[in-house]
Amino acid sequence: MKSRSSVIWNVAVLVTLLGPVFSSAQEAEYQWVNPLPAEAHPRLSHGTFRSASMGVDVGFVIYLPRGYEDQENAQRRYPVVYHLHGGLRGTEIRSIGMTTYFDQAIESGLVPPRIYVFVNGGPHSHYDYGGFLAETAFVKELIPHIDGNYRTIAARSGRSIEGFSAGGRGTARIAFAYPELFCAATPMAGGHQHEKLVSEDRAMESNSAIPIPRDYNSWDRASQYAARESASELDILVVVGSEDMNYESNMAWMDHLASLGIPFESRIVPGVGHNMRGVFSQIGDEIIRFPEGCFQQAVVAQQPDDRVRASGRRSRSRWAWSTRPAECWYCVADETLLRRWGRGDD
In this prediction, residue 209 carries a pLDDT of 54
Domain assignment of residue 344, yes or no:
no
Q: Is 263 helix (H, G, I), strand (E, B) or coil?
A: coil
> pLDDT per residue over 299-346, tens digit each?
655 554 433 333 333 333 332 222 222 222 222 333 323 333 332 222
Among 299, 297, 332, residue whose Cα is nearest residue 315: 297
In this prediction, residue 11 carries a pLDDT of 42
CATH classification at residue 285? 3.40.50.1820
Domain assignment of residue 329, yes or no:
no
Domain assignment of residue 113, yes or no:
yes
CB atoms under 10 Å from CB of 336, counted, come to: 7
Domain assignment of residue 335, yes or no:
no
Domain assignment of residue 286, yes or no:
yes
List, for the chain, all residue ranges whose pLDDT scores fall below the cut of 70: 1-28, 203-210, 299-346
In this prediction, residue 343 carries a pLDDT of 24
Backbone angles phi, psi at 185, to 5 degrees: -145, 135
> Count H helices, E strands: the chain?
11, 13
Could you tell me how many residues make up the chain? 346
Answer for the pair 34, 93: CB distance below 8 angstroms, yes or no: yes
Domain assignment of residue 319, yes or no:
no
Answer for the pair 205, 129: CB distance below 8 angstroms, yes or no: yes
In this prediction, residue 342 carries a pLDDT of 30
Number of structural domains (the chain) is 1
Domain span at 268: 4-308
In this prediction, residue 303 carries a pLDDT of 52
Domain assignment of residue 321, yes or no:
no
Domain assignment of residue 334, yes or no:
no
In this prediction, residue 20 carries a pLDDT of 39
What is each CA distance from 43 to 32, 76, 247, 301, in whole angstroms?
A: 22, 18, 34, 27
> pLDDT per residue over 261-281, tens digit each?
999 999 999 999 999 999 999
Among 216, 205, 125, residue whose Cα is nearest residue 165: 125
What is each CA distance from 313 to 81, 119, 297, 326, 344, in whole angstroms?
A: 18, 28, 10, 11, 17
pTM of the full structure: 0.81
